[in-house]
Structure 1
Amino acid sequence: MVQVASKILGTVNAPYDADLSACQLAAAISDIEVAQFVMGPAFSFFSEVSPHLQTSFVSELELPYDKVQVVAKHFQTLCPFPLALVA
């Protein structure tokens, strides 16, 4: 999990000068209320991280897939290109 998380955290934190941990990112991508406070990194997870790494992260952190999809679907309404975890 460390390799997956470090790849993802570098991608989602850097553009926003954020410092989210894997647990904080997990909360943001699986709870729409948390995502509202860290929209940049949460959106970056769904739009900048490869679908393979997204599913690995979700699986390894044992996140409820249906809750992750709720957040992904919210971001899809704001995005003109398809997001992998919406389907």
Structure 2
Amino acid sequence: MAKAVSLVLATVNAPYGANLSAHQLAALIADPKSASDFNAPVFSFFSEVSPALQLQFVEEMGVDADKVCAVADQFSHLSGYALPLAA
């Protein structure tokens, strides 16, 4: 597993006692339902992982960047918090 993936998983899993795999997180960050469900690890990805590391994770996992930005935008509107990947 790449270092970037390990860093991301440590950041999003530890605070919430989650045990998401890289593939599970990759699917969730591109799923609009994550925002409407207020998925804490996904919000952590968008708010606590550096933008450069977010982009590296998206690229390494082969996630559609447009979908990820759309989900980040939903979280940004819901939280009132500006997120770097928000469209």
Which TM-score applies when normalising by structure 2?
0.89
Unaligned runs of 5+ in 1: none
Shift in CA distance, 77/62, structure 1 to aligned 2, threshold 3 Å: same
Deviations along 1:30-53, one digit per CA (max 9) or x if unpaired, are: 0112x2557000000000000010
Shift in CA distance, 5/61, structure 1 to aligned 2, threshold 3 Å: same
Query: Identity across aligned pairs (percent)?
Result: 51
Deviations along 1:50-86, one digit per CA (max 9) or x if unpaired, are: 0010000011111111110111011001223321111
Shift in CA distance, 37/24, structure 1 to aligned 2, threshold 3 Å: farther
What one-letter code is carried by the residue in structure 1 that aligns with 2:46? F
SS in 1 for 2:78: coil
Which TM-score applies when normalising by structure 1?
0.89
- Runs in 1 of length 4+ with deviation above 6 angstroms? none
1:5 aligned partner: 5
RMSD: 1.6
Unaligned runs of 5+ in 2: none
2:77 aligned partner: 77
1:22 aligned partner: 22
